[in-house]
Amino acid sequence: MAFTPVIHDPGIDQYRPLADGEDLPCCPATDLISGDDDNQLTTGNDDLLYVPPCKVEATDLISEDTPNLIVEGSDGKLLVKGCDFDVDALISENPRNILVPDLNDGKLLVTPDSCQFDVADMISPNPDNLLTPDLFDGKLFAAKTPCVIHPDELLSDDPDNDWLELGTDGKLKVTQRLPETCEFDCLDFISGDANNLLGIGTDGLLSVHLTDLLNRLADLESRVATLEN
Buried b (16+ CB within 10 A) or exposed e, 79-100: eeeeeeeeeeeeeeeeeeeeee
Sequence spans of domains, the chain:
151-228
The pLDDT assigned to 181 comes to 46
By DSSP bridging, strand 14-17 and strand 70-72 are unpaired
The pLDDT assigned to 82 comes to 66
Angle subtended at Cα 54 by Cα 50 and Cα 56, rounded to the nearest 5 degrees:
160
Amino acid residing at 165? E
The pLDDT assigned to 86 comes to 73
Per-residue pLDDT of the chain (229 residues; tens, 9 = 90+): 567 778 777 788 888 887 887 776 667 778 788 888 888 888 888 888 888 887 778 888 888 888 788 888 888 888 887 666 677 777 888 877 778 888 788 788 887 676 666 667 777 777 777 777 665 555 666 665 555 667 777 778 887 777 778 788 878 777 665 555 445 667 777 777 777 777 777 777 777 767 777 777 777 777 777 776 6
Amino acid residing at 123? I
The pLDDT assigned to 117 comes to 64
pTM: 0.23
The pLDDT assigned to 229 comes to 61
Q: What is the DSSP secondary structure assignment for residue 189, as one 8-state letter?
A: G
